[in-house]
A = this chain, B = another copy of it.
Amino acid sequence: MKFSSSEENYIKSIYTLQASMGKVNTNSLAEHLNTKAASVTDMLKKLKSKKLLEYKRYHGFKLNDSGIKQALKIIRRHRLWEFFLVSKLGMEWNAVHAIAEELEHVSSPELIKKLDLYLEQPLVDPHGDPIPNEHGELPVLNQVSLVEYPHKKNGIVSSVSNQSSDMLQMLNHYGIGIGVELKVLKSFDFDGSLEIKVSKQAACTISGLAAQNIFVYDD
């Protein structure tokens, strides 16, 4: 079944919200999509009629299996394009989201299959988010926020949850990026800041806020 760009954006947003909140409500979806609650209600009816949604009026909603499958397809397209834009075209990872937002709606299965092979079947996008495979399965990443990571243990940066350009700038300054090895040397309870060692560089200190947004997995 084919979906309009608008429908796809709703599906994607619902997926994201229900991943963290279980069930989704009208207002939060409206906010997430930068639209109004009334518009959301309209679209919910349509998605329900297309059998993507469990929805009883006034009582929240969530994607059913079919909806989730579709969401993962869209997310797969989005993240593959992000990977392409960064790894092949050399764009900054904070600039690619908006463009991938458009590219993700180009729905040719053949295109996506070939793109995936061309990129050598990446598991994560440039922000470290997992890329669903062609069967809609997400690779399991056992990543932990730097804040919770044991001291003196080598970890690999797997993702960064804040994608602002301010964050990017700071990470660049510290030499931190997806795939980079680092370890925590010390933590300061006073303000949550951490002393860390990034690959072979001299030790440095990052704020608690920064640490919360950096995720690593075991080396």
Contact = CB atoms under 8 A, between A and B. Distances in A.
A217 B71 CA distance: 49
Contacts of A89: 111, 114-115, 118
A173 interface: no
A102 B110 contact: no
A21 to B, nearest CB: 31
A85 interface: yes
Given A85-B114, A103-B103, A106-B106, 19 more contacts: A85-B111, A89-B111, A89-B114, A89-B115, A90-B114, A90-B118, A91-B110, A91-B111, A91-B114, A95-B110, A98-B108, A99-B106, A99-B108, A99-B110, A99-B111, A102-B105, A102-B106, A102-B108, A103-B106
Interface of A: 85, 88-91, 95, 98-99, 102-103, 105-106, 108, 110-111, 114-115, 118
Determine which residue in A89, A99, A118 has the highest number of CB atoms from chain B within 10 A of its CB, and name it.
A89
Nearest to A90: B114
A53 to B, nearest CB: 26
A62 to B, nearest CB: 30
A101 to B, nearest CB: 10
Contacts of A102: 105-106, 108
Contacts of A118: 88-90
Contacts of A99: 106, 108, 110-111
Nearest to A95: B110
Nearest to A114: B89
A106 B95 CA distance: 15
23 contacts: A85-B111, A85-B114, A88-B118, A89-B111, A89-B114, A89-B115, A89-B118, A90-B114, A90-B118, A91-B110, A91-B111, A91-B114, A95-B110, A98-B108, A99-B106, A99-B108, A99-B110, A99-B111, A102-B105, A102-B106, A102-B108, A103-B103, A106-B106
